[in-house]
Structure 1
Amino acid sequence: MGERTNVRWVVVAVLFLVTAINYADRATISLAGPAIARQLRLDAVAMGYVFSAFGWAYVLAQLPGGWLLDRYGSKRVYAASLTLWSTFTLLTAGVGALASLGAVVALFALRFLVGAAEAPSFPANSRIVAAWFPASERGTASAIFNSAQYAATVVFAPLMGWLIASFGWPSVFVVMGALGLSFVLVWKALIHDPKTHPLANAAEVAYIEAGGGLVSMDQARRDDGPDLRYVGRLLRSRMLVGVYVAQYCINTLTYFFITWFPVYLVRERHMTILKAGFVAAIPAVCGFVGGVLGGVFSDALLKRGHSLSVARKTPIVAGMLLSMTMVACNYVSSQSAVIFLMALAFFGKGVGALGWAVNADTAPRQFAGLSGALFNTCGNLSGITTPIAIGYIVQGTGSFAWALVYVGAHALVAIVCYLGVVGRIHRVTLA
């Protein structure tokens, strides 16, 4: 068969890039929000509804998106998803030309549509990794695409800030929308099934398949419509329920950092907005490093003969323990100590963010898209609950002390899930 090719790493590089665009498009509204609010004369309540539009649609569209992946395959659905969310992002640039009420309605609708269009993306990422990578490399591959969420903040936030300052807020949506649409061509050229990829040879496909890769996943598509009975069957698995609840808890850490963390730095730690903006990037960098290291460490354990359960659970538990160090911020006064502890906590969150690797390890072969969608639905419910809960805590107590305890407690629950609920990690079989 000749020397084995390594096209799978090109595939995961494409997943990394498209996921970075995905997260950057999510962040466009938060960075452009103040300028939009001034131009459209929107108060905080109105902007709150606009900010929430993405999250509600993203959660609601997960299960339909998962069915579409299982029915039509990852390549086609992801290409359509990328085209749609980029188009809706591009169209957002024009809402300022509408009358006040019309602009608000259009802005909410477009953000809702972006959320719905992005829904299949992470289940598709997990599905593609399950098809292209043997179990011994799946942790690293999943960590690479998952770490793009941190890279997006570091790379695109300064770019978008410069665009807003130089050309106005609509320019952000034009540039990001155009970037996404142009990347569709890259996607179609480089993403194929393992057995049909023009650059992958038989030796690589055989290596992937021998290691547990689902190389024929998209050759056996389901022709029936979405059936919620399969969701019930997935939820009857104690292992999967433990994984889903843990992902909700892990994502609580993520949503704290991307929503309330800058506010915490300004209100509780009395930093200027400018300084808080730079400081907020530090945990993102640490999360990126931790995310890649967690995946590499997990796969190294697997290659050294440890079980899949040990290889996945060890970095998850260690990472969540590190994340809990954020609670120590309640007992320090210096800004440098706070920055260090928060960076350590987000590094730990990155190390422990192996949920997508676990999903790729456990999803039933014929329902990989649906399982990933259910996993992502549960995980992203925290995007709705976390900002609201922390808001009530801060308003009721006048400080962030109990808010940090709230977030840290979720890391502890994630540990309990993996050690006491999940049990042996294995692929679920649904007859």
Structure 2
Amino acid sequence: MAIHVKGLRWWMIGLLTIGTITNYLARSSLGIAAPTVLTELGISTHEYGWITGAFLVMYPIGAPLTGYLMDRAGLRVGFMICGVAWSLICMMHGFVSGWVGLFVLRGLLGLAEAAFIPAGMRAVAYWFPSHERGLAAGGFNLGTSFGAILAPPLIGWSILHYDWRVAFVIAGALGLVWAGFWFVLYRHPSEHKALSPKEAEYIGVSPEPETAKRDANAANNPGKPSFRTILRTRNFWGIALPRFFADPVWGTLVYWVPLYLYQARGFDLKTIALTAWLPFVAADIGSVTGGALSMFLHKRFSTPVIDGKRWAFTLGAVLMIGMAGVGLVVNPMTAVLLLCLGGFAHQTLSVTVISMSADLFPKREVATVTGLVSFVAGLGNLGFTLVIGLLVSRVGFTPFFIVLGFLDLIGATVLWTVVKPKPVSDEVASFARHHEGSAVPVAASCAGGER
């Protein structure tokens, strides 16, 4: 007799979140170890700029490629391949002898690590009904901030007790362990023996063995997604352009805030270490808030799922205006608080638009769509980073924070005017069964779906 696990869909998201943590540990390792690595290998800051740039260039390219891989090979195998890849690449950092080796490895790492958002949204599309997808997306996005927070103590401890080469091996080894657990524990919901009949009905998985087998085969051997068709769909651009305007905030928090606190606010390294992680804690809260708000609007006011996410995005965009004041306030700690507000606002709106790919496109295409959206977002992040690098020494940081404060209002406008949701037939039936007899309008609650 099979043992059923209550709330199995949340356990699956937890497993994916741990993978995201290992992803960000590998990604953040070089930044933490950089002072030691640059000194021992004789790498200049100019060469280090090329090394970090390799990741930023290859990451947007990797997003649609890894998304396509997971839509073609299935999530269990596809994400395991990507997890093994980024773990081994991270471990190989510990065996380089110069900046060229790091340059190549960071580019490869960008390709492999771009997998986590397409993977997360494919899992969310199959494991969650539409009204819970925003919260689920916020759940696996928690791993990004946790990884960024855990990297400094782990890498610092490894360097102090061993050396910087061992630090990369440890960080990569953790990813390999997770990849093994992922391959063993993850299954498509139609194949997972621990999924209870009640939860299967709730998420729209057929209880009939033959139908379940057919659904699992379709998920593991799907049709070939068409890049051209996706790129010609207005809903794709309706969620891609808001990401294009939103993602520069995250890039600024990760790559530029420590330097800003040092150069513009006079923080020493100890003070930076005590404060630079705070925006990521606020971002964690925002990851949950965006999805929870859209779900609350749906349950309390019967707001259509897509509209609830648009309202959550809009709230985040309005709160983001506070980030425009980071360079204008006199008190340094007030500036840090505004950066925290920016982190919270960004993740509040980011998780809502990320999760929309599962509401607007067929499940078999979700990872590919999410990857292509991430490619567009990565172009925005890369372009903004390059402009900062070119002009910050001439005009300072203040104009860039002002621009960041208002970009998401453009994204909110696009989200409201371009996206055209349509009902999802399979989710309408599932939601109707679960809420039979309730006053919630089924068609409104399941807004979204295939084009």
TM-score, scaled relative to structure 1: 0.91
Correspondence list, 1:112-191, <5 A? 112-191=107-186
Task: Tell me if 1:388 matches 2:386.
Answer: yes
What SS is found at the alignment partner of 1:200?
A: coil
Correspondence list, 1:27-426, <5 A? 27-95=28-96, 98=97, 103-209=98-204, 219-220=217-218, 230-304=226-300, 305-353=302-350, 354-397=352-395, 399-424=396-421
The residue number in structure 2 matching 1:7 is 8
- Residues 195-233 of structure 1 show CA distances to partners (whole Å, capped at 9, x for unaligned) of 11121122211110179xxx8765215979967xx3232
What SS is found at the alignment partner of 2:373?
A: helix
Q: Distance in 1 between matches of 2:5 and 2:186?
A: 18
The residue number in structure 1 matching 2:450 is 429
Q: Which sections of structure 2, spanning at least 5 residues, go unmatched?
A: 207-211, 423-446
The size of the alignment, in residue pairs, is: 419
Give how far 1:326 is off. Answer: 1.1
Q: Distance in 1 between matches of 2:271 and 2:419?
A: 41
- Asked if the contact 2:4–2:195 (Cα under 8 Å) also holds between the matched residues in 1, the reply is no
- Asked if the contact 2:68–2:368 (Cα under 8 Å) also holds between the matched residues in 1, the reply is yes
- Asked if the contact 2:358–2:449 (Cα under 8 Å) also holds between the matched residues in 1, the reply is no
Q: Call closer, same or farther: CA 1:14–1:222 in 2, change over 3 Å.
A: closer
Give how far 1:386 is off. Answer: 2.2
Q: Call closer, same or farther: CA 1:206–1:221 in 2, change over 3 Å.
A: closer
TM-score, scaled relative to structure 2: 0.87
Give how far 1:267 is off. Answer: 1.0
- Asked if the contact 1:131–1:217 (Cα under 8 Å) also holds between the matched residues in 2, the reply is no
- Residues 147-198 of structure 1 show CA distances to partners (whole Å, capped at 9, x for unaligned) of 2111212222222223233432212201111101111222123211101112
Q: Call closer, same or farther: CA 1:244–1:276 in 2, change over 3 Å.
A: same
Q: Distance in 1 between matches of 2:54 and 2:81?
A: 21
CA RMSD of aligned residues (A): 2.4
Q: Distance in 1 between matches of 2:365 and 2:448?
A: 11
Q: Distance in 2 between matches of 1:35 and 1:325?
A: 36
What SS is found at the alignment partner of 2:193?
A: coil
Choose 378-387 or 243-252, whichever is displaced more: 378-387
Choose 71-80 or 108-117, whichever is displaced more: 108-117
Equivalent residue letter for 1:335? P
Equivalent residue letter for 2:392? V
Choose 165-174 or 135-144, whichever is displaced more: 165-174
Q: Call closer, same or farther: CA 1:4–1:31 in 2, change over 3 Å.
A: closer
Q: Distance in 2 between matches of 1:126 and 1:143?
A: 11
The residue number in structure 2 matching 1:23 is 24
- Asked if the contact 1:127–1:368 (Cα under 8 Å) also holds between the matched residues in 2, the reply is yes
Choose 407-416 or 367-376, whichever is displaced more: 407-416
Q: Distance in 1 between matches of 2:215 and 2:83?
A: 21
Q: Distance in 1 between matches of 2:204 and 2:66?
A: 26
- Asked if the contact 1:261–1:280 (Cα under 8 Å) also holds between the matched residues in 2, the reply is yes
Equivalent residue letter for 2:64? L
Q: Which sections of structure 1, spanning at least 5 residues, go unmatched?
A: none
Equivalent residue letter for 2:239? V
Q: Percent identity?
A: 26
Q: Distance in 1 between matches of 2:106 and 2:366?
A: 27
- Asked if the contact 2:71–2:364 (Cα under 8 Å) also holds between the matched residues in 1, the reply is yes
- Asked if the contact 2:66–2:82 (Cα under 8 Å) also holds between the matched residues in 1, the reply is no
Give how far 1:110 is off. Answer: 1.7
Q: Distance in 1 between matches of 2:221 and 2:195?
A: 28
Choose 183-192 or 131-140, whichever is displaced more: 183-192
